[in-house]
A and B are shown apart, each in its own frame.
Chain A
Amino acid sequence: MLEPVPNAKNVFYVNLEEDLAEVTSNLGLGLLPDEMEKVKEYFEKEKRKPTDVELQAIDQAWSEHCCYKSSKPVLEETVFGLNSSKKVIAREDAGIMEFDDNHYYAVGLESHNHPSALDPYGGSATGIGGILRDVVCMGAQPIALIDPLFFGDLDTPRDTLAEGVKHPRYLMGGVVAGIRDYGNRVGIPTVAGQVAFHPKYTGNPLVNVGCVGIVEKELMIHSKAGDIGDIYILAGGRTGRDGIHGVTFASRDLDAGADEDIGAVQMGDPITKEPLMHLCLELNKMKLLTGMKDLGGGGLSCVVGELALDGGFGAMVNLEKVHLKVENMPPWEIWVSESQERMMFTVTPENVDKVLARCEAWDVEAVTIGEVISEKRNIVNYKGIEILNLDLEFTTGGPVYKRPYNLPEYDVGKAAPLPEYPSDISNQIIDIISQPEVASKDWVIRQYDHEVRGKTVLKPIQGPIGKDVPGDSSVIKPVDDSWKGLALTSDVNPYLMEANPYHGTMNAVEEVCRNLASVGARIDSLADCLCFGNPRRPDIMGQFRATCEALKDAATAVDVPYVSGNVSLYNETQDGAIPPTPVLMGIGLVKDIRKCVTSDMKNEGTIWLVGKTREEMGASLYYRTLGVSCPKVPVTDFEAFMPRMEQLIQAIENGEVVACHDISTGGLALSIIEMCMSGIGAKIELTSDLRADIELFSETNGRWVVQVKSGCENDFEKRFDFAVKIGDVDDRMIFTKNGKEISSFEIEKLRNDWMSPIWDRLA
């Protein structure tokens, strides 16, 4: 089957006339039988046998991870066609939007799920590394990181774990440590994120990493080569045997044997990355580069061709010039290795020496490895022998599949009968606030440096020092001489998604908007990381389609684009697929950060509910703790919501609001209690016609708890279709119904019950 290529050590011609299945398995390829047939046809037309390097390169390019072969048709019908997409300035490794007259902001969001299941520390760390490079290669200075994380139940008994599955506590500890050690060392603040739990993430955690950057408009650079004759310079970490077949590994299910794929996980090195970022931004500022792109999935095999083709050219590379971690790597490994901390520059020949000198000054290793050619082909030589010569349009073309799908039910259906009214509502409240999914995440947040760079205006933990209150969004002030801010948040509720993918997604988009509005920010863009199970199963493709429909409908209603994101499929283990999980990151603009509002209850001001509460208890935390199954999940009403949100933001800008917090999981009860973690209590009258427990715990959309500045109540009330005063500040946390006290707590007691759950479970 393999025949050595003369004079090229470790390179082989592959005979495609033999059993193709055997070829695929011998070379460790992920290509499907019909894809192998296409490859065979191509080489028949070229009238020669392929080399193993060529087959490996095609395998990388055609992986689900690189070419979106299952998701593309659905994305094209839904989120790609949005009107709001016109606001996107560029959509390359990161998406680019306008910040102000002189600046763009860059957004990247990706998942690093499969590597993190095997190696939580290395997987999450290299996730951070990759997303930073995506932002840097647009010429943007990274200014904030954001990390939505999803794990199995922390209380999973060890003896119920399937073979090879690591315990959620171990995975969470490792993932957080990886983000901490990488993010803190490179000096980019981790300012926002989410930690969610669901039993279906047990064997397949989700690790999403987002990054936002800022760039002066004239310094934005594209991920494409400038001209024929430009020189390729590979800078940064050396190429090694880590991260071989990373994208193929990410494009299939995780099974018990997955530990053997540990070589697919890369090793991160933040201390190589830190000066590399300085170097890239400096070279770009000095206008020494014609193009820049990071090395991620597929390694050199993807970056060289994509840089060339996007510029309308081809590339010729001398592979032996690549600086290596270990000697004697076979050429195919060098070509596809996903070793970290590497960047590719294209540079005009006269600037090569200048660029190499700056690399030297920053102690960053760099080598010239090839040049841009006119023909749209990729040619790779190894010590003078040609070992790869492929048509770029063929390699990057990739197959596309219209996979069959079974759509899930969109309709929310009828509410289940109300459960019996709890005998002790206070116990119920305590039970809710001490669930790990809503309990304080300070165990995580404090391990991340959220203030390095000194630009964080609102931190993830808000309120008086030592009285932590969770913030809805964090705010960054990216430009020195401007009061304008960028607000960041992320959200998706896996239980709502599991119950109803369409409405679960609509909910997630609305919650992102609410979180941003809470601090006084207007949503400007979204990024989406679509994490699903195996697309070859029609039920999974149905979930995917329903989610994309909702993403389109919600973004159309809000009129914002998706600027960045990825699709991560095959998130399955022997125990089944994860819940459909469209991880969303929202970026909002703040006109004047001096007007920002935090969620902590202040000494003065009356307490209001904006937005009406309905009995929408499906998949609510309350019903879940009671074990009540109900299909009627909350729905959204963007037509009513949009003006309400705008009025809230204007009230904040006008100084009428002293504290604001969105209502979501855990309902009104949890929202108020979180605000009161500032040490200031509240006496709240439940004013609706609903039963008290439903009013406390319903997760109806479109609502906020707002503390209104004394004297501003009239102006405030007039703004809204529905706003009602529900209480005043107090020494204790008290709920009343029809004037009668139904529950009352010491704030300190609530604080302990809310603060301890994560600490009790993790070392």
Chain B
Amino acid sequence: MLDPSEIRVGVIRIEGTNCEDESAAAFSSLGCNVEKVHLKQLLGDVEKSNCRNLMDYDALYFPGGFSSGDYIRAGAIFASRVKSGLKSQVDEYINEGRPVLGVCNGFQILVEMGALPGTDSGTTVAPNAVLHTNDSNRFEARHVHLRVESKSQSFFTKNYDTNQVLSVPNAHAEGKLMMDKSQFEELEKNNQIAFRYCDKDGQLNPGYPWNPNGVAHDIAGITNPKGNVLGMMPHPERVFHGWQHTDWTSSGMNPEGPGHGRPLFEGVVDFLCQ
């Protein structure tokens, strides 16, 4: 059993990763020991004193941004650099059930790595899904509503009420999860869907702009079958506090109180402290 201050979280970045500060702040606000670590440090591509071992972290966080400019395909370059040097470590990490979180570009990276939708044994050799260009064909920043899926068994969603409706900001151009029809069925069957886009009352099929990218089944975030790897397009770290919500001045939300993203991070800390 760990105390929060003993939890080491690695927030992994390369050039173009740009949400590392607020991502690190989410975990450090809960008392964790967070380190922003450049992928080169994990790959052993820097002087020895600055090298880091992936396995030394209790949780990994791939934050949002535009890693390597999202050139080629969003997240593809980051993912291939991870896989080229760290594939077996990443598989081991995932198989041990340790938490891995990817938000926005981080989700895209996890999909490109084959960690999501994933298998029972770490990453797949090739990615078998893609986060495709939004139906609107543009980058859009807007707050959306998310429904916490009742069947999700993951510690990431454990601190939310079943079917709780959250408001979380989205900011992406490529967030439409696409894969084979049978794989969508697998996701349902394995309870891998963590969050769906919905309207303000929690109703599904809300249409654009509530489903901001046109994704099938309103899927906003998924886990691997085990539930220890979560990828999601909306940014929970941007609503850690009440004052970060776009409508706090009208909704009656306490600006000093918790925002809707906080329970997700608390879920990880609770899991590691068990």
Contacts of B250 in A (CB 8 A): 463-464, 598, 600, 602, 678
Known: A180-B139, A361-B38. A187 touches B65 (CB 8 A): yes
Stretch at the interface among B121-129, B140-148, B183-191, B222-230: B140-148
Measured between beta carbons, the chain A residues less than 8 angstroms from B240 are: 454
Q: Is A597 an interface residue (CB 8 A)?
A: yes
Q: Cβ of B140 and Cβ of A446 under 8 Å apart?
A: yes
Task: Decide if A357 touches B47 in the complex (CB within 8 Å).
Answer: yes
Chain A binder among B11-19, B89-97, B106-114, B262-270: B11-19
The stretch from B2-10, B155-163, B213-221, B241-249 touching chain A is B241-249
Does B68 reach chain A (CB closer than 8 Å)?
yes
Tally A residues with Cβ within 8 Å of B.
45
Residues of A within 8 A of B15 (CB): 271-272, 274-275, 362-363
CB distance from A161 to the nearest CB of B (A): 26
Please determine whether B19 and A452 come into contact, CB atoms closer than 8 angstroms. yes
B141 near A454: Cβ-Cβ < 8 Å:
no
Q: Which of chain A's residues 286-336 have a Cβ closer than 8 Å to chain B?
A: none
How many whole Å from A684's CB to the nearest CB in chain B? 20
For A270, what are the chain B residues with a Cβ–Cβ distance below 8 Å?
16, 66, 69
Nearest CB of chain B from residue A761's CB, rounded to whole Å: 16
Tell me whether B22 and A454 are in contact (CB under 8 A). yes
Decide yes or no: A452 and B171 within 8 Å by CB, A446-B142, A447-B140, A678-B250 being known contacts. yes
Instruction: Answer yes or no: B151 CB below 8 A from chain A CBs.
Output: no
State whether A185 and B69 are in contact (beta carbons under 8 Å apart), knowing that A451-B238, A452-B171 are contacts in the complex: yes
* Contact status B209-A186, CB under 8 Å: no
Say yes or no: is B46 at the interface (Cβ < 8 Å to chain A): yes
- Which residue of the partner chain B has the closest CB to A593? B243
Flag whether B30 is at the interface (Cβ < 8 A): no
Chain A residues near B69 (CB-CB < 8 A): 185, 270-271
Chain B residues bordering chain A, tally (CB within 8 A):
47
The answer on a CB contact under 8 Å between A274 and B235 is: no
Compute how far the CA of A23 lies from the CA of B142 in the bound complex, rounded to whole angstroms: 56
Nearest residue (CB) in B for A448 is B141
- Do residues B50 and A594 form an inter-chain contact, with CB atoms below 8 A? no
Given contacts A271-B16, A447-B140, A451-B141, contact A456 B244 (CB under 8 A): yes
What 1/0 mask marks residues of chain A from 592 to 608 whose CB sits below 8 Å from any chain B CB?
Answer: 01101110101000000
Cβ distance A143 to chain B, nearest Cβ, rounded Å: 11
Determine whether B255 belongs to the interface, using a CB cutoff of 8 Å to chain A.
yes
SS of A interface (majority): loop
Is residue B167 within 8 Å, beta carbon to beta carbon, of the partner chain? Answer: yes
* A257 contacts the other chain (CB 8 A): no
Q: Give which listed residue, A272, A361, A453, contacts B46 with CB less than 8 A.
A: A361
CA distance in complex: A1, B200 (Å): 75
- Bound: A593/B244 CA distance, A: 11
Would you give the shortest CB distance from A73 to chain B, in whole angstroms? 43
Chain A residues in 8 Å Cβ range of B247: 463-465
- A184-B139, A363-B15 in contact; A597/B21 too (CB < 8 A)? no
Task: Please give the distance in Å from A683's CB to the nearest CB on chain B.
Answer: 20
- Whether a CB of chain A sits under 8 angstroms from the CB of B64 is yes
Alpha-carbon gap, A361 to B250, bound state (A): 46
Complex interface: chain A residues within 8 A of B19 (CB): 187, 452-454
Sample of 10 further A-B pairs with CB below 8 A, known A361-B46, A452-B171, A462-B249 = A185-B18, A270-B69, A446-B142, A447-B141, A451-B141, A451-B171, A452-B18, A454-B238, A465-B200, A678-B250
B-side interface residues toward A, CB under 8 Å? 15-19, 21-22, 25, 38, 40, 46-47, 50, 64-66, 68-71, 138-145, 167, 169, 171, 200, 209-210, 235, 237-238, 240, 243-244, 246-247, 249-251, 255-256
Q: Which residues of A are in contact with B by a Cβ distance under 8 Å?
A: 180, 184-187, 270-272, 274-275, 357, 361-363, 445-459, 461-466, 477, 480, 593-594, 596-598, 600, 602, 678
